Amino acid sequence: MPDKGVFNLKASGGVLRKLTAGASGTGTGSSVLHRRELEVLKLVAKGMANKHIANELNISDNTAGTHLVSALLIDIAWRLLYWLNLLHHT
């Protein structure tokens, strides 16, 4: 029987797989995150601010911020789909 909710849970499962693919951070193209987004996230995890990240990667402060926002939006989407999937199965 097809899902009748707003989200098609079978389709969201595919999105979840795509979002988590390549989580090793190899930047091989199998990850939803681009190589630069992964690099920025790694530097954020080390406690670096956008200005220092920009200097480290030879990019502008704005570009560093854009990469960070993009990566965080993907994380938010993943978390939303995860919780929707959990709610559907409870």
Question: pLDDT truncated to tens, each residue of the chain (90 aa)?
Answer: 444 444 444 554 554 455 445 544 444 444 577 888 889 988 988 899 999 999 999 999 999 999 988 888 887 887 888 888 888 877
How would you class 7 by CB atoms within 10 Å of its CB: exposed for 0-12, middle for 13-18, buried for 19 or more? middle
pTM above 0.75, yes or no: no
Do 19 and 74 meet the contact criterion of CB atoms below 8 Å apart?
Answer: yes
Query: What CATH architecture is 9-88?
Result: Orthogonal Bundle (1.10)
The residues spanned by each domain of the chain are 9-88
